[in-house]
Chain A
């Protein structure tokens, strides 16, 4: 019996030698640098406009802005609900005397993950996962791989475990890169900054009863864990696509379409209830932490809760793995 360890070693070597991981790291570095720069410009602009650096004044202005918007009849009801939620959140921060926007490396990292969970990070995982099996088909090496005295399920399992390792590594590296680069601009402090969490959205009400303050590092840790889970699920689905679709380009197209449609669908789930069973609508699990709403201005969705989203994602991952393994172990290799 060949153990899984040497097989995982093989997959890791192949993954690294394909230089995909390097490309991903470069993408993250470039993107984080660009966002850090943008963030410094935004901070500068706000300061100029308001003529103040006092966050309480900035926040009060924001509340005033949003209240004005509420009286505008042309804004749809659903968007108004979102605005009300935002006002409550800001007001709560004001009451507790916690600056919701203190700039620091840690805050930037937190914000980056908050924005990257829906599309960017899953996309990086797709880049790694999508040709794990299909590339073996297109190079023809599948014919050697599966004629070696190793059971097929072990071959796929080694690929899955390697994917899992690299998904974790992507998340870890993104965290480090974010913190290192944004820290240059905003400083490396902020780990123990208090952050409000535990808001609950029910209908158009933001329930603050369970809201409480935690240190930012705890918040970041929870957010990154949720990110990791979303990425893992996307990885499992990509692996299935890679098993089913032999062309890497076609597989990439399918996953891109799914992820991007998720970003669009999130805004429509309020009207189309059963869309909440799509995995791509549930990827942004971190919104439950902050109660900042998925993509600005979109309404809170009834029935979309953290346990619900996690269950839907887990179900998708499980089904994908079952399909991947049963197809991979039984299929005739004809090409």
Chain B
């Protein structure tokens, strides 16, 4: 990566499309999580949630083929702050409770159609939350933003609760990122050329051609 790419990442954060991108850039500054944030059942559940977000289609395999549940476990355990770890693990419980309440059965027992319907509603809830966070951010003055940046640099910044991301935003972003940077995601859903050998800046594109993986 270089500054141009860093710049495009900044643009993405500012566009609010990657929740947790800040953590991608700054990593996690807190002590390692203890073993066992996730049970085997949690990983299996995350596999199914991930595979509902990005299911198998005629064109390519789904997120389960990328072992997305295990990937989420690794990232949350190794890279998340304790605050985000808690949002994520509490979120698994909340997701199951909400499924039970709405469908009177567990997510694992729901039909694919029910799962999709349920997660679309959850995604809307998460998007509303993201909009609130963006609105909070837009209320800050330049001085307040600068102060926040200094605190983040010093490691003294404490994110206010009203800026906590929705747990489903975390799940969805880990699913997208984990899948499209996995071998099946990069090589089957997208196009990947390890050594392009040349560069052509302007070539024809026709609808349906896959995007480059990187």
Q: Do A and B bind each other?
A: no
Residues of A within 8 A of B (CB): none
